[in-house]
Structure 1
Amino acid sequence: MKAAHVRPDYHLYEDLFQEGLILYAEMLEQLPSEKTRTEIDKLSFRKIIWQTLNRLHKEQLNCERNTDIEEAYDLGEIKDLDNLVILKGEIKEFSEIERLILLEHLIGNSTLRQLSAEYEIPRRSLTRTKHNLLEKLREILNR
């Protein structure tokens, strides 16, 4: 798990660990017996690492999608015209990246990955800015 950079306090640590053990057992059964134990261990280790990284990537994408939907839903119910006027005034004070995320990601349904590739901004930076933007919008709307 260390090689995949998964810490023991990660919420899926035990699941990933168990899947790794199961995969190792499957590899011991599947690989031909003429291979040495060292070769089998190396191949198994690589396969476990790749499967773990793949699962972590899928989990990250799933969390990102769910977060987008949940947080955008909270903000998407702007029923009051006053809130729209307030937002219109506040948008002028947003940074260029915040406006980009608001208009193209939250409203325009572009993914952060697409924005990252198109504008050459790290996806992690976009995710952090999006989180801060959503907090800022909540604060503005709750005034």
Structure 2
Amino acid sequence: MRPVVTLELLATPAEVSRVRRALGPLGIDVQLCASELVTNVIRHVGEGVPVTVRVWRDEGGRVRLGVTDPDPRALPVLVAAAGAEAESGRGLALLDALAVRWGVEQEAGLKTVWCELFVDADTSGTPERSGRHRVSAGALGQASARS
């Protein structure tokens, strides 16, 4: 399966808006997940680093989103519960709630954080919540691909 969207960019706040606009036809859930993953690169790897955003879509409505950055050591960690006053720590919880599954793939000098979502075939972006299942494997933040 070839990506239907490939965006190569530098991780900056302005580019987060560009990613959202480019992924608009795929729905709000895809936009939110992509925004979170690119924002995590800015926050935890650094502003201005090169990022590749890829989106694949199959005929059954499954969308796979991957965000690749050059730091395989900066792994995402799902925070159990951000405090009421916390200014961050909710993004991966949002991604975890929207995605059917997500994980991390590491290569030499690269990391891809990915997630899979189901959207209606009419591309309205409304997730198909019935029949969703959560796949989990070990502690989050480790380099295990949850598949």
Question: What interval of TM-score do these two structures reach, taking the shorter chain for normalisation?
Answer: under 0.3
Which structure has more relative contact order (CA 8 Å, sep 6+)? It is 2
Q: Which has the higher strand share?
A: 2
